[in-house]
Structure 1
Amino acid sequence: MSKKILIIGGVAGGASAAARLRRHSEEDQIIMFEKGPHVSFSNCCLPYHLSGVVEKADDLVLMSPEKFASQYRIDARTNQEVVTINRQQKTVTIKKLLSDEVYSESYDKLILSPGAKPIIPAIPGIDKVNAFSIRNVVDIDRLNSYIKGSDAKNITVIGGGFIGVEVVENLKEAGYNVTLVEAMPQIMRPFDYEMVQILHKELLDQDVNLIVADKVVKFEDNITILASGKAIPSDVVVMAIGVSPETNLALDANLKLVIKVALKLTKTTVLMTQIFTQSVMR
């Protein structure tokens, strides 16, 4: 007997789940909701739009709703946000973000894959700088358009994780003066301190103003102030300090959230921490 399966969230998690479900059944009705305008895009390639390696923002988009419909018979609905879950009635309430229209859909099975949102701490004076974060194609296009359309020369990236380092690489490739600020003694915390020194040297060799073991305490007019007292000219600030899971919808539905933290310590490559939020509805 066919089932009606709803998926909240697209991109890597939701879109992969939808495609896998279709392989398991040709009869099930599959509907996927994505509150952004793109249901499937290359997360890892987002920073490479800043250097022009990925020339157009649209080149980052992998699949359109039309392709999902024609190739997989999956109903992918973009710019639509699931706002509530009624577990007793087995329905969800959806808001069309472009028209504010609200409607509901029933389900037999519901999958939550809302992803995560960038962490933007309430640093004093953050409204005094041109601050950006990177989560999707819209974000990277907005950042790139602002940089290209302004006289920005000095760009400060806060956070030395994978995204922060890739943003630095591509901004430097594009010809900007780039500062990378990391509060910890090293960038790329999953790696040993000794190994990361190779990366530190490479950044310095590429004329990146690398600052570690120092954190942002406030912003002034186009200036980033660090705990050490350093004042960094910042025409643009890119916040890349991490993400937090989108759990509000699950919590509002009284779902039990299971946080799993996996730690592996070795001498060569360590501290791999993964946090998973699993929500199972039956």
Structure 2
Amino acid sequence: MKKIVRIGTRSSELALWQAHLVQQNLSKIQITSEIVEVSSKGDEILDKPLHEIGGIGLFTKSLDEALLQGKIDIAVHSMKDVPTDLPKGIVQVAVMKRGPVKDILVFNNKKDTSDLEKVLTIATGSLRRKAQWLKKYPEYKVVDLRGNVNTRLRKLYESNWQGAVFAEAGLTRIDLLPKNFEVLDWMIPAPAQGAVMVVALDGDINFLSEMAKLNCEKTEKATYIERAFMKTLEGGCTAPIGAHAKIEDENITFDGILIDLDGSQSFEIHEEEKLENWENFGKNCALKLLNSGGSNLMKKIKSQMSH
């Protein structure tokens, strides 16, 4: 076992919270560690939408490179940012117990009554959130919002927008959840939202088995189902795909959505399955959705995103 495990992380407050969570759990199993901050392209370029600067893998690439170069021993990611195919030589070793899963709308508290006729505006950097919002509220204007959680909150409060959509987990974890928010129960979250993933280099069996002690099996299975659904639909995390698997006792309930960029067309699925059949469940749900017309919508979304 390595003397001190170097934990690689992005430098945002939320990313550091995740790294400290891993560090605390390592110390519980008598493993000493240190945190190594690595900057990412996704954190540096804030003036363009995510899907225009690389989309999936944008926040994980620099940590993958640090792993492959031997600068860190493990990397900690928000699991929803991680491509479903990990780079060659890198393996998932643990998924931490999941936090809150839902999206929330944070309200801008400014009392602006000067122009009651103006178009209502909300902000999000996520195509999935934008598409689901426009499906429910087509009369709204949705503007792009990038940056880490702190930056996005500040931009919201400095704006004339009515609100912005965030993951509840992110705001809760760094104690920034405001009083004025609403849980969007109707919005299907991103695959693996609220989950923290730990990856390492493949090879050292003893090291990998030590790191695997951090794993929460229930979260691992639920997120596997959600990511298998996304992978089978062939959507990166930038495509408007939502997936949520909930495990209770020996049963799984799954909700998934594939939705057009402007919210005008969507295919949704709700299925239940026994936990013993978890491995193929996400894939089967995706195939069902594709066969019921989703494949044409997926082609349309891909062609829209390539232009």
Bigger radius of gyration among the two: 1
TM-score (norm 1): 0.26
TM-score (norm 2): 0.24
Structure with more helix by fraction:
2
